[in-house]
Structures are given as structure tokens and as C-alpha cells.
Amino acid sequence: GEDVEQSLFLSVREGDSSVINCTYTDSSSTYLYWYKQEPGAGLQLLTYIFSNMDMKQDQRLTVLLNKKDKHLSLRIADTQTGDSAIYFCADYYGGATNKLIFGTGTLLAVQP
Amino acid sequence: DTEVTQTPKHLVMGMTNKKSLKCEQHMGHRAMYWYKQKAKKPPELMFVYSYEKLSINESVPSRFSPECPNSSLLNLHLHALQPEDSALYLCASSQGRGTGGETQYFGPGTRLLVL
């Protein structure tokens, strides 16, 4: 079945850039998403990218997609302490159903 | 407005209780979802409703009973739960066009503790 993997933990200093990586196995992916989850909260949609795009930029966020290697990354510029959270990538798993396959989540810790 | 609301925020229940979780959206979305999330894990899909009809049941035990009374509301009825059912229950919605790849918007969740 479809599998989405992420590294578990990333620590950065405030003001640095953060890069969170994700790999997936579904060769027919159409949309890939990034969600942010703060402690005790629901999932906040950050951004998404369509599979015919290589890059998408949205303010401090840059998403890069390497479809050949099935690799997705989220870069956060000028990381702030408020960016500390768990970040999930998610792959839309095709067919008649709108099923998202979530990665394992990356805990981003921002040190002041 | 991309808001999905869920009530209650927290719920403590005994194994013999019956309770319900409620989810509401006013974005005109026609697809709604229930997810279960254990600590430090990604959300796991439980149910999907599309145009008020149950379209996916991910082999969820019958002690969880979903209901979609109208296009804006989604309930999850709980009965005879087990302690291992303690988790964060997330509701989400999407446009429901059925063309795939729809963005799902999540609520804040209900944190459930079963004693």
C-alpha cells in the first residue's frame, strides 16, 4: 500500500531556515499537502502542491517536489518560535475516495 | 471562512456511557470525515461521508457510530468504549466534488479519555 515517511525530529535556531523532508511511494499522486499541528490542537493546512509543479512559494514557505525521486520538502524561512509544532505531509491517494495518507510527522523545535 | 468546529473540546467517559461528538461546518462542503489520532501519531481515517451518505468505513468497531443529519453536521456516537479508544478525534470537511485531490480542512478536535 501507499507509504509516506518523514524524519521524526528537527531542531533549528530562531531566524534560521528549516527544511522538513517527506518521501512517498504512490506514483500516481496528484496533490501533496503540508499540515501543521500545535500541541493539543487540530491540523492547520499550510500549503499544498499539485503534482505537475516543481515548486510553490507562499510567503515564508517554499515547497519543492521531486516527482522522479518521490520527494517533497517544506522550507520555512526565518523560523520563529511560533513555528514549533509537528508537521505532517500528506499524499492524496487516488480513486473515487478522497483519502489522505499522512506521513509520520516531524517535530520541529525552534530554539531561541 | 475555512472553519470547522467541534464540540466538546474535552470528554471523559466511562466504559458504560453513551456520548456523542459533534462537528459543524458552514463552507458548503459536501464531504465530511472522522479521524482518530493517538499521541505522537498521524491521524487515521475512520469514516467518510459524501453528500450525506457513508462512503468509507475503515473497518471501525461498531461501538463507534457515525451520523450525518444534514450537509453541515457530522456526529460520532460513542457507546461501550474501551480505554484504548482514548485519543484526539478530528473532524474534517472538503468540497466533495468527487474529482479527487480535494483539500481537507480540519477542526480543533475533541480529546476523549475513556476510564
Q: What is the mean pLDDT of each run of 10 residues along chain B (115 residues)?
A: 89 94 95 94 93 89 96 96 96 78 89 96
Residue ranges in chain A modelled with pLDDT below 50: none
CB contacts, 8 Å: B103 with chain A: 31, 33, 45, 48
| Cβ within 8 Å of residue B55, ≥6 positions away | A97, B48, B49
- Interface A-B: count of C-beta contacts within 8 A: 64
CB contacts, 8 Å: A100 with chain B: 45, 104
Nearest CA in chain B to A104: B42
Contact A41 B111 (CB under 8 A): no
CB contacts, 8 Å: A96 with chain B: 98, 100
| Predicted pLDDT at B1 | 61
